[in-house]
Amino acid sequence: MRRPSQRSSYRTDIRRHRSGQAMAEFLVITPVFILLIFGSIQLALIFSAKTTLNYATFQAARIGALNNATYSGIRQGLIRGLAPLYTVSNSRTGPDVMHAIQAGINSDGARKDATSEVDAFTRIVRLNPMSSDFSTGNRGHGELNTDGIVQIPNNQLMYRDPGVKGRINVQDANLLKIRVQYCYELIVPIVNKVIGSLSELNNTRNSTSRYETPNDPRFADFNRGYADEMAAAESALASYAELCGGRGLRPDRADKFTGFVISSEATIRMQTAAYDEDPDDTLGSYMCDGDRMSCP
């Protein structure tokens, strides 16, 4: 039988053992718990950005359909649609909205607004009409307008020849289909680089798909659309490094794996004739340049 002093020492040893065990469990569980919380917050932000991009892509297609499917028109809609990610006001007008569209400056003095995001971290792919559809004669539906621009006519479609020229008929050539890629910035510490690395890893995966370029793999969805559209989209999509590099306008997100690539598609019927080039004096050079906008 233990003496009172021995029993007291035994109880003290048990308490110390339990305290040490609890501390060890705390040290093991806490980092995992923090990662789960931070990861949940970041995934929620990605989901919000994806929802906003879906709306912005629809806006881009809608305004593009009213502006000859040009880069300047599609870009305008994309900027308007992405503005909610950078506004701090629930008003539809006023200085806060303009700040979100064009004049946002973050804490380190760098721009962070919808305009700079679109110019630095997006690529627009015009999937339809394709470049071949602007060919003239029996190879496509292109016509020269009074300004010397090749266009696909949009008037009197009901009475035009429904026959196929080249790839599709004139009615289908008047469907504007775009895909927008966006390198969204991951801002939650720790998990941002983990998720960003996974996004970059997807870019370098090995695949035997015939739509993937072996020496320059790119992002693609393999289960959508027709074979020709898939092949065209695959060749036009940006790689992780291309999309997240910032184009010298914003800090590089690919270098530190703080970017995550999301994409969205929209299709809408043209309300104006689709142009093969953009007559805008400032933005016309970016149309179909392969960097900001691709036209397979």
User: How far are the Cα atoms of 39, 73, 178, 243 from residue 129, in angstroms, in the given order?
Assistant: 40, 15, 9, 23
Segment 93-110 shows an average pLDDT of 53
**pLDDT attached to residue 197:** 81
Return the C-alpha torsion angle 148, 150, 155, 161, nearest 10: 130
Domain ranges of the chain: 4-294
Q: Provide the pLDDT confidence category of residue 5 given band limits of 50, 70 and 90.
A: low
* Distance (Å, whole) CA 132 – CA 136: 9
Nearest to 274 by CA among 54, 58, 73, 118: 73
Give dist(CA 294, CA 237) in Å, integer.
Answer: 8
pTM exceeding the 0.75 threshold for the entire prediction? yes
CA distance 220 to 209: 11
pLDDT digits (tens, 9 = 90+) for 255-267: 888 999 999 999 9
pLDDT at 180 over 50: yes
Burial (CB < 10 A; 0-12, 13-18, 19+), residue 160, is middle
Burial of residue 36 (CB within 10 Å: 0-12, 13-18, 19+) is exposed
CA distance linking residue 211 with residue 222, whole number of Å: 8
* Distance of alpha carbon 81 from alpha carbon 104, whole angstroms: 16
State the first-to-last Cα distance of the chain, in angstroms, to the nearest integer.
90
Residue 130's nearest CA partner among 166, 160, 182 is 166
DSSP codes joined into one string, 230-285: HHHHHHHSPPHHHHHS-TTTS--STTTT-EEEEEEEEEEE-SSPEESS---TTTGG
Residue 218 is inside which H or E element, if any? none
Cβ atoms within 10 Å, residue 174: 25
Helix axes 71-82, 114-121, angle to 10 degrees: 130
DSSP helix/strand/coil, 21? helix
Residue 91 near residue 97, CB atoms below 8 Å: yes
Write the pLDDT tens digit of every residue in 213-265. 444 444 444 433 444 555 555 667 888 888 999 999 888 998 888 999 999 99
- Residue 19: what pLDDT? 57
- Can you list the alpha helix ranges (DSSP code H) found in 67-137? 71-82, 95-98, 114-121
Q: For residue 6, give the 3-state DSSP assignment.
A: helix
